[in-house]
């Protein structure tokens, strides 16, 4: 079996489920980058010593070109190792799973696997773990929740999707945290997500944009200082990150206004800009309160402030001047 795709978290769950079918002593992980072709084939071809069935997981089989730095000297003859070799050499009592985390359909290993599955039929399986799109994250979270024994209520799933974005590793870690917090019932509510899952950078910046859009200078400055207080070190880098986040928001708002003026409906704009559905209403509200000219001026000002900070000027003074200008 070959597992591939960019959804590493779901692939990890699938591997964990496969391991449960075998006694721990009959499960082995092999790194083809550290083993020669002959060693790998000998290993998969040798029946298990402790039971009639065993599982061998191969990681990184298709990474030979990417991981040459960690290849052992004895592994330099594995260039010819193919999935067909593995299929022909594997003992009947052994299940081999090739885990190609991050691989896409155009990867040579995946192309070989798909062709082999077509030729070999049921004797060879391929399973893809594609990364979900923004509109698919709620469904992805609910599906993964069921796999780990959670009941994720719909409002909780929507908020969680908004907070983790498409960072699947972070999403998985948050699900594990919520599972521990919701024991023994295993039911996750929206207030639990609100309390336990940190705001995304996008979510934390919305109040500042709201204050700027409504020309509430005092509120905007207070929210700006709150953002700056969050940094523990490297203040210049935080300032640049904040500037880029503001610039991103302004670009999105300008695109919304331009698409809206061209006649595109709201659903089409959300889809085209890949906006998180949970935040769509706030995006459109902010776009309504800021003119095209203000948004363009804001982007230009942000670029000038970024250059000033890189030249060593006071980050706080520059950001305060920025907020004052945008709220004037």
- Residue-level pLDDT at 268: 92
Nearest Cα residue to 324 out of 304, 301, 303, 306: 301
- Residue-level pLDDT at 99: 92
Contacts of 68 (CB under 8 A, 6+ apart): none
- Residue-level pLDDT at 49: 67
All structural domains of the chain, each given as residue ranges with its CATH number in brackets, are 2-128 (3.40.50.300), 134-196 (1.10.8.60), 201-326 (1.20.272.10)
Which residues of the chain fall short of a pLDDT of 70? 48-51, 62-79, 121-122, 200-203, 230-239, 314-315
- Residue-level pLDDT at 201: 62
- Residue-level pLDDT at 152: 93
Tokens encoding 207: 């109040």
Tokens encoding 248: 């991103």
Cis preceding-peptide flag for 184 (omega within 30 of 0): yes
Asked if residue 155 lies in contact with residue 163, where contact means CB atoms within 8 angstroms, the answer is no
Angle at 283 between CA 271 and CA 135, to 5 degrees: 30
Nearest Cα residue to 19 out of 37, 32, 3: 3
pTM recorded for the entire structure: 0.63
Give the Cβ contact number of residue 159 at 10 Å: 21
Give the chain's radius of gyration (CA, Å). 26
What residues are paired with 59 via a beta bridge? 99
Nearest Cα residue to 219 out of 129, 324, 114: 324
**Spatial distance between the Cα atoms of 238 and 201, rounded to a whole number of angstroms:** 12
**Spatial distance between the Cα atoms of 241 and 37, rounded to a whole number of angstroms:** 46
């Amino acid at each position: 079996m070959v597992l591939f795709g960019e959804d590493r978290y779901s692939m990890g769950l699938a591997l964990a489920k496969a391991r449960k079918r075998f006694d721990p002593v009959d499960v082995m992980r092999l790194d083809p980058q550290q083993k020669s072709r002959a060693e790998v084939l000998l290993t998969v071809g040798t029946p298990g010593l402790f039971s009639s069935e065993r599982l061998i997981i191969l990681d990184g089989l298709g990474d030979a070109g990417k991981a040459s730095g960690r290849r052992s000297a004895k592994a330099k003859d594995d260039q010819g190792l193919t999935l067909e070799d593995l299929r022909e050499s594997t003992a009947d009592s052994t299940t081999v799973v090739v885990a190609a985390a991050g691989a896409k359909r155009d990867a040579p290993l995946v192309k070989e696997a798909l062709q082999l599955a077509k030729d070999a039929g049921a004797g060879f399986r391929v399973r893809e773990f594609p990364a979900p799109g923004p509109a698919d994250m709620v469904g992805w979270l609910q599906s993964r929740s069921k796999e780990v024994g959670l009941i994720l209520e719909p409002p909780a799933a929507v908020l969680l999707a908004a907070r983790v974005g498409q960072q699947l590793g972070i999403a998985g870690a948050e699900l594990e945290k919520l599972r521990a917090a919701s024991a023994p019932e295993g039911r996750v509510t929206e207030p639990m997500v609100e309390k336990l899952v940190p705001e995304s950078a996008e979510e934390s910046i919305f109040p500042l944009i709201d204050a700027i859009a409504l020309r509430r200078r005092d509120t905007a400055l207070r929210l700006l200082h709150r953002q700056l207080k969050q940094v523990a070190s490297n203040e210049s880098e935080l300032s640049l990150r904040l500037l880029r986040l503001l610039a991103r928001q302004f670009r999105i708002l300008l695109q919304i206004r331009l698409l809206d003026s061209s006649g595109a409906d709201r659903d089409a704009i959300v889809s085209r800009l890949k906006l998180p559905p949970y935040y769509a209403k706030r995006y459109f509200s902010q776009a309504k309160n800021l003119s095209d000219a203000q948004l363009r001026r804001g982007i230009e000002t942000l670029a000038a402030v970024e250059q000033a900070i890189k030249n060593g000027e006071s980050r706080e003074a520059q950001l305060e001047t920025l907020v004052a200008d945008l709220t004037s």
